[in-house]
Amino acid sequence: MAREYFTHKGLLFPCLDYSPEVLNYVENEFQVQDDDVFNVTYPKSGTNWMLEILSLIRCDGDPSWVRSVLNWERAPWVDNQNGLKAALKYPPPRLICSHLPVQLFPKSLQRSKAKIIYTLRCPKDVLVSLYHFSKLLLLLKDPGSLDSFLEDFLSGNVAYGSWFDHVTGWMGLKGNENFFPITYEELQQDPLGSVRRICHFLGKELSEEQMAAVVENASFQSMKGNKMSNFSQAEDQYMDHQKGEFLRKGICGDWRNHLSEAQSQRFDTVYRERMQGLGMTFPWD
């Protein structure tokens, strides 16, 4: 089961912990509640950073919760079996993570006032982060060479499917008052301003000191030193801790250290083809 995938509605998902039954249940039966906050991303786009920020905002910047409860318990991933069980038991107001593309997201979202925070990241950095993470996360297939993984990524032959489809699908909700898109790059460039905007979206008032505490306690270094947030507690059946760390580099533009000129140009060609119709610009454009 480890490192194997199945296909559900045209997309690949890991066999370990995922199933068509769970995905169907989440899409068709899961009841979104008005006070739910969803942390939605394509993998490796800053999900856990946002999870930490949202956890800390919930506690007015006080780090006790993030230092005492595992991140996947603070905000379970509804997409898989264990996460779904935890989400169903979660006392409201729920904080829930998901990597699902918009077409597989719970249909009941349409009838609710739940809030969605959608974090995007430069796709070349997503590619590089996912390439490294695929070596240690035993849910994912071994990535092979960077050249072949680049082609898999560009064609959506990876878990959760195509980055391009995910982003264009979710960004269709832009302008909806309960949808808040933000980039990893904005979080890096202006963490305090980003936290202020997230608080405003959530209708949560924090003082300047409390927002500064959110930024500080959700920093790369703070998370790296917090065993509730750095995935050091992930079981060996899920993660090969010898192969690397979840909190790898945490920077923008690391792709420049990995992609050759030819690989970068190949990426740009597909990016232009897939993104030109969207009419949006991003910090990495």
45 binds ligand PPS (CB under 6 A): yes
247 binds ligand PPS (CB under 6 A): yes
95 binds ligand PPS (CB under 6 A): no
Angle at 250 between CA 63 and CA 18, to 5 degrees: 80
Choosing from 8, 16, 32, 43, the residue that interacts with ligand PPS (CB under 6 A) is 43
46 binds ligand PPS (CB under 6 A): yes
**Candidates 58-66, 161-169, 209-217, 244-252 — which segment interacts with ligand PPS by CB under 6 A?**
244-252
103 binds ligand PPS (CB under 6 A): no
Residue 77, CA atoms < 13 Å, CB-side half-sphere: 18
**Which residue in 93, 95, 33 sits closest to 66, CA to CA?**
95
- Return the number of the residue (47 or 55) whose C-beta is nearest ligand PPS: 47
Residue 262 in tokens: 């030819």
Q: Count of residues binding ligand PPS (CB under 6 A)?
A: 21
Choosing from 18, 22, 37, 44, the residue that interacts with ligand PPS (CB under 6 A) is 44
The residue to which tokens 């899920």 are assigned: 238
CB of residue 34 to ligand PPS, shortest distance in Å: 26
Residue 54 in tokens: 């949202």
Largest separation between any pair of C-alpha atoms in the chain: 50
Catalytic annotation present for 166:
no
**Which residue in 32, 184, 10 sits closest to 101, CA to CA?**
10
**Candidates 21-29, 101-109, 126-134, 151-159 — which segment interacts with ligand PPS by CB under 6 A?**
126-134
- Which helix (H) or strand (E) covers residue 158, if one does? none
101 binds ligand PPS (CB under 6 A): no
Number of CB atoms found within 10 A of residue 264's CB: 15
Q: Give the integer Cα–Cα distance in Å for 41 and 108.
A: 19
- Return the number of the residue (34 or 253) whose C-beta is nearest ligand PPS: 253
Binding site for ligand PPS (CB under 6 A): 41, 43-49, 125, 129, 132-133, 218-220, 223, 247-250, 254
